[in-house]
Amino acid sequence: MSKYVFGIDLGTTYSCIAYVDDRGIAQIIKNSDGNTTTPSVVAFDGKTITVGEAAKEEAVLKPNETVSLVKSKMGKTDTVIKYNGKNISPEEVSSYILKKIANDASEQLSEPVKDVVITCPAYFGTAERMATKKAGEIAGLNVLEIISEPTAAALDYGCAETHDDKTILVYDLGGGTFDVTIMRITSDRIEVICSDGDHDLGGKNWDALLMRYILKEFEEKNGSVELDASSQQDLRLKVEKLKKQLSSKPQASSMIDINGKRQVMKLNRDEFDSITNTLLSQTLNKTEEAIKVARSKGYDQIDEILLVGGSTRMPQVKNALSEKYGEDKIKVFDPDEAVAKGAAIHAVNVYVKNQKALEDKTFISSERKNDLNPNDYEEDLKVDERSMSVGGAQREIIMATTKSFAVKVTHEDKTEECVNMIIKNEPMKEGFIEVSDEFYTLFRNQATVNIQIYENDYMDKKFDVDEEFFLGNAILELPKNLPAGSPIQITMKLSGEGILEVTGLDKVENNKVNVKMETKGVMSDEKFEEVKEKVKGMTVL
């Protein structure tokens, strides 16, 4: 058993791992290259898998054997790359990233890495969260919990300093995703009020616009060029570097080399800002929408705006938010590290909570007492003791629902509609939310009902059916000879992690059925075991 539990920020472009050290302070663990973050890039090469900086470089040479930005595919598809004639899922690719950072951390600390909390964007739905959890399990980790990135960041922020009660907005702009979350921090709790985001808006979009601009300029001077996959990847790396340079200096340049044609491209920050202005505006609009939702729930004032995520290093972000909401409100707080550190703090909390629950319930028979290893117990205690010293970590965390969940109903005139049972941004005071509603059969002698669940972002009770939001279904068998209007009870339970369970109950004979979440992205149990076995045998460098 390990002395520590860990927090992992599984990022779109970079990932990072942290733990709470013996003094009770959350610390980032460096990887084998000595860096605090590891690129979330995986390269396939026969029996070995390379992850991180080396894989990122390999992506230039062998773009068809490398995977980047896998996070944007989680829970959405079952294949991100075909390798050696096999379809490789996003869960498997992510598991290599997790395995690499866990292995590196384990070497650094000379302690195994087993119990972890993994973060995901706040807007991730059930399928994406389930996929993230499975990726961790495939990597051989015990996933204590999945927690939203902005909540983790706020935990770290809340623990690092002593604060008065305040309402904070976390503006989290990463490599591929944007999240805005508003929460209330008091001395004993952190409560999520609302969150919103865009799963396809992040540093990569800034890179793409800049790349288009540079190519256009290049072609104006040098005539049109054909980019193969390798030169495209090379240009992408140069463009990202140029963007990063513009965060620290007002102008920067890069030598662009395409098909033997070379040109030095110069760019200043104002030009970069105007090329990418539409993207920044999208984040500002989402921010304003979230503020409106918070206001509708009685939180009129935002006291602080916390900048998280690598892309908030672009001065345009801080400038725009300062101009709109006041410079004194903006707090820059460890943009690369806050999420992993907050996850580590949460991991200690969850671990201790689980441990306490277990200790309260557990006793053993006298004949087994001799099998007990007293050292194991000591190890457990070490973790317990450490948690007591994590400054603010004893705060209760109240999550809010990040999605709405509906069932499809059919009216007498055969028109259909979705009815939300759980609505987005509702507080989960008990740590979960459970809602039961009664529905009725439409026909006499109806043999079955098909319970169909739709995950969505609407905050209204009813909306038109859209198959895009379909999450899963189950057929509930009914007793014979029922009259029309016989009652069916549907219960939805959403865990604090954001994973949904649904059951249907026929109230005449009390038959129950569990709805299986069968979106195209969720891996079957059989496939899960198969991939887990495969990954166990792979060397990850």
Closest Cα to residue 128, out of 110, 155, 148? 148
For the bound state, the minimum distance from the C-beta of residue 282 to ligand AMP, rounded and expressed in Å, comes to 15
Q: At its nearest, how many Å lie between ligand AMP and the CB of residue 11?
A: 4
Under the binding rule (CB under 6 A), the answer on residue 11 touching ligand AMP is yes
The stretch among 238-246, 279-287, 363-371, 450-458 that binds ligand AMP (CB under 6 A) is 238-246
Please tell me the distance from the alpha carbon of residue 368 to that of residue 351, in angstroms, as a whole number.
25
Q: Which is nearer to ligand AMP, 310 or 496 (CB)?
A: 310
What letter does residue 464 receive in the DSSP assignment? -
When CB distances to ligand AMP are compared, the closest residue is: 203
Beta strand segments in 295-374, E: 304-308, 330-332
CB 125, CB 144: distance < 8 Å: no
CB of 431 to ligand AMP, least distance (A): 27
Cα distance between the two ends of the chain: 24
* Residues of this chain, 180-209, that bind ligand AMP according to CB under 6 A: 202-204
How many C-beta atoms surround the C-beta of residue 107 within 10 A? 13
Helix (H, G, I), strand (E, B) or coil at 491: strand
Considering the complex, what minimum distance in angstroms separates the CB of residue 435 from ligand AMP? 34
Q: How far is the CB of 96 from ligand AMP (least distance, A)?
A: 18
- The piece of 221-229, 237-245, 292-300, 415-423 that touches ligand AMP (CB under 6 A) is 237-245
Cβ at position 175, least distance to ligand AMP in Å: 3
Q: Is 244 near ligand AMP (CB under 6 A)? A: yes
Stretch in the footprint of ligand AMP (CB under 6 A) among 111-119, 242-250, 320-328, 417-425? 242-250
Nearest residue (CB) to ligand AMP, 12 versus 425: 12
State yes or no: residue 243 binds ligand AMP (CB under 6 A). Answer: yes
Cβ atoms of 201 and 282 within 8 Å: the answer is yes
Report in angstroms how near the CB of residue 243 gets to ligand AMP at its nearest. Answer: 5
Contact by Cβ (8 Å): 464, 417? yes
DSSP string, 332-379: E--TTTHHHHHHHHHHHHHHHHHHHHHHHH----GGGGGG--HHHHHH
Tell me the HSE value of 429 on the side-chain side, using a 13 A CA sphere: 0
Cβ distance 155 to 346 under 8 Å? yes
* Contact call for residue 121 and ligand AMP (CB under 6 A): no
498 with 126: CB under 8 angstroms? yes
In angstroms, give the least distance from the CB of 274 to ligand AMP. Answer: 16
By C-beta, is 11 or 75 nearer to ligand AMP?
11
Question: Applying CB under 6 A, does 310 fall inside the site for ligand AMP?
Answer: yes
Decide: is 12 part of the binding site for ligand AMP (CB under 6 A): yes
- Rounded CA-CA distance 256/263 in Å is 5
Query: Should residue 174 be labelled a site residue for ligand AMP when binding is judged by CB under 6 A?
Result: yes
Scanning 7-15, 342-350, 445-453, 493-501 for contacts with ligand AMP by CB under 6 A, the matching segment is 7-15
For residue 154, the surrounding DSSP H or E stretch is helix 149-160
**Residue keyed to tokens 């952190």:** 190
Element (H, E) at 87: strand 86-88
247 touches ligand AMP (CB under 6 A): yes
Pick 177 or 486: Cβ nearer ligand AMP: 177
Q: How far apart are CA 3 and CA 383, in angstroms?
A: 6
> Closer to ligand AMP at the Cβ: 311 or 486?
311
- Which of 461, 479, 473 minimizes the C-alpha distance to 522? 473
What is the sign of the dihedral through the CA atoms of 259, 263, 269 and 275?
negative
Nearer to ligand AMP, 78 or 149 (CB): 149
Q: Say which residue the tokens 């499975």 belong to.
A: 134
Instruction: State yes or no: residue 240 binds ligand AMP (CB under 6 A).
Output: yes
Rounded least distance, CB 118 to ligand AMP, Å? 14
Between 239 and 345, name the residue whose CB sits nearer to ligand AMP: 239
Binding segment toward ligand AMP, per CB under 6 A, in 122-130, 140-148, 241-249, 269-277:
241-249
Say if CB 182 and CB 291 are below 8 A apart: yes
Which one, of 497, 179, 503, 163, lies nearest residue 309 by Cα? 179
**Any contact of residue 313 with ligand AMP (CB under 6 A)?**
yes
Residue 330 — φ and ψ, nearest 5°?
A: -80, 125
Binds ligand AMP (CB under 6 A): choice among 50, 311, 349, 486 = 311
What is the strand order of the sheet 487-495 is part of?
432-440, 487-495, 500-506, 511-517, 470-477, 448-456, 404-410, 416-422, 462-463
Q: Looking at residues 354 to 373 of the shown chain, list those that interact with ligand AMP (rule: CB under 6 A).
A: none
Where in 333-352 is the site for ligand AMP (CB under 6 A)? 336
Residue 309 binds ligand AMP, judged by CB under 6 A: yes
CB of 158 vs ligand AMP, minimal distance in Å? 19
Number of residues interacting with ligand AMP: please give it, by CB under 6 A.
19
103-111, 303-311, 444-452, 519-527 -> range binding ligand AMP (CB under 6 A): 303-311
Interstrand relation of 178-185 and 38-39 (parallel, antiparallel or unpaired): unpaired
In angstroms, give the least distance from the CB of 27 to ligand AMP. 18
Which residues here bind ligand AMP, judged by CB under 6 A? 11-14, 174-175, 202-204, 240, 243-244, 247, 309-311, 313-314, 336
